[in-house]
Amino acid sequence: MLSVTPSPAVAGAARPLSGRIALVTGSTGGIGLAVAEALAAQGCDLILHGLAEPGEAAPILRELAGRQGIAVRYQAAELAEPRAIAEMMARAGRVDILVNNAAIRHFGPIEEMAPEDWDMDLAVNLSAAFHLIRLSLPGMRQRGWGRIINMSSIYGLVGGTDRVGYVTTKTALIGLTRAVALETAQTEITCNAICAGTTLTPNIDARIQALMAMHGLDRAAATARFMDGKNPSGRIVEASAIGAMAAFLCGEAGRDITGTAWPVDGGWSAA
């Protein structure tokens, strides 16, 4: 486990989530890191998670701790393995805010999908969230406060082709969210899902660059082609907007918001 302590000069600032600890899975880049950034800006200490070696994650931890004045730890764990999840949670200790963000996806029609790829989608995208919630809730109940955010997707709200594992697991995450919300409704614990449309992440950027190279397009044209049939706004969602939504749900204003699926998709789910 890698840990970086905050700068005393910044750490003293009073912020709404000061004293809270958040575990964000899949948070060394993309949406997960944007969520971690938004929570850190509210004073929340962080446990980042990923598959990178601690040395690779160290610069991210140092930058976050130095700029936001919060304590940051890093846990590497394979979320497809329940034992690895349990070991990570034992090392993590207290978790006030759990953000189930880590996900994988396999592309192709269902008849061509390898059974092992289906099993991996279920394990990482869905079962890991179940295990992390199961292991986090007792402590949240004991402390009388908690926030759980499941990162679903636009594909949790609408169907799509050539990604059956992703559509299935992201849809199921919304059901998990509702079930947990009702089981914790009379507590200070909430559980919500965020359903992002096409969001600017390193993965999406790489796919746009591939279109540019393959078809000789400039970035604007490649982005327009990639966005065809996606966010009706025509804009790619900024990851920081997903982070801001997560921070809102974790704050005092989110106290009575639970069991919901929040689309941040440029109107895609309204089409």
Mean pLDDT, the chain, whole residue set: 94
pLDDT band, very low/low/confident/very high, at 15 (cuts 50, 70, 90): confident
The pLDDT value given to residue 271? 83
List Cα–Cα distances, 127 to 30, 36, 63, 235, in angstroms: 22, 22, 32, 32
Residue in the block written with tokens 């989110």? 254
CA dihedral 101, 34, 180, 230 (to 10 degrees): -70
The reply to whether 166 belongs to the active site is yes
- The residue annotated as part of the active site, out of 74, 155, 166, 226, is 166
Q: CA 257, CA 249: separation in Å to the nearest integer?
A: 7
Global pTM? 0.92
- Give all domains of the chain, ordered by start, each with its CATH number: 2-199+237-270 (3.40.50.720), 200-236 (no CATH)
DSSP 3-state assignment of 74? strand
List Cα–Cα distances, 57 to 27, 46, 48, 86, 124, in angstroms: 10, 13, 9, 21, 21
Q: What is the pLDDT of residues 121-130, one digit of tens each?
A: 999 999 999 9
Q: What is the pLDDT of residues 50-78, one digit of tens each?
A: 999 989 999 999 999 999 999 999 999 99
DSSP 6: P
The structure tokens listed for 39 are 């929570």
